[in-house]
Amino acid sequence: MHFQSWAEFWAMGGYGLFVWLSFGTTYFLLLALLCYSQLQQKQFKRQLAAKLAREQRVKQYQEQSD
């Protein structure tokens, strides 16, 4: 461990703003991309399932009315 205390760790030898700004934006962007991609997939799966269910209902209704 190079730093003596937590306060020193956050200060980063006076460069705290720049170091934590870089790490913060990096993690934020990576996390945003990951969540967005996962959300896209979930949303599409949900849409597809809803579409199939609707088709199923239409088919059943048509069979009943015949």
Partner 1 sequence: MFKWLHPLAKPETVYQLCGRLYPWLLTAALLLLLLGNIWGLAFTPPDYQQGDSYRIIHIHVPAAIMSMGAYSAMAIAAFVALVWQVKVAQWSVLAIAPIGAVYTAIALITGMAWGKPMWGTWWVWDARLTSELILLFLYLGVIALSGAFSDRQTGAKVASLLAVVGVINLPVIHFSVEWWNTLHQGASITKFAKPSIDPSMLWPLLISILAFKVLMLALICLRLRTAILVNEQHRPWVRAMAGDQ
Which chain residues interact with partner 1 by CB under 8 A? 1-3, 9, 12-15, 18-19, 21-23, 25-26, 29-30, 33-34, 37-38, 40-41, 44-45, 48-49, 52
Our CB check for partner 1 shows the closer of 3 and 61 to be 3
> Taking the complex as a whole, how short is the minimal distance between the CB of residue 15 and partner 1, in angstroms?
4
Our CB check for partner 1 shows the closer of 19 and 58 to be 19
Residue with tokens 């979930």: 42
Residue 59 carries which side chain, given as an amino acid letter?
Answer: K
Residues written for the chain: 66
- Here the tokens at position 45 are 């799966």
Q: CB–CB of 2/9 below 8 Å?
A: no
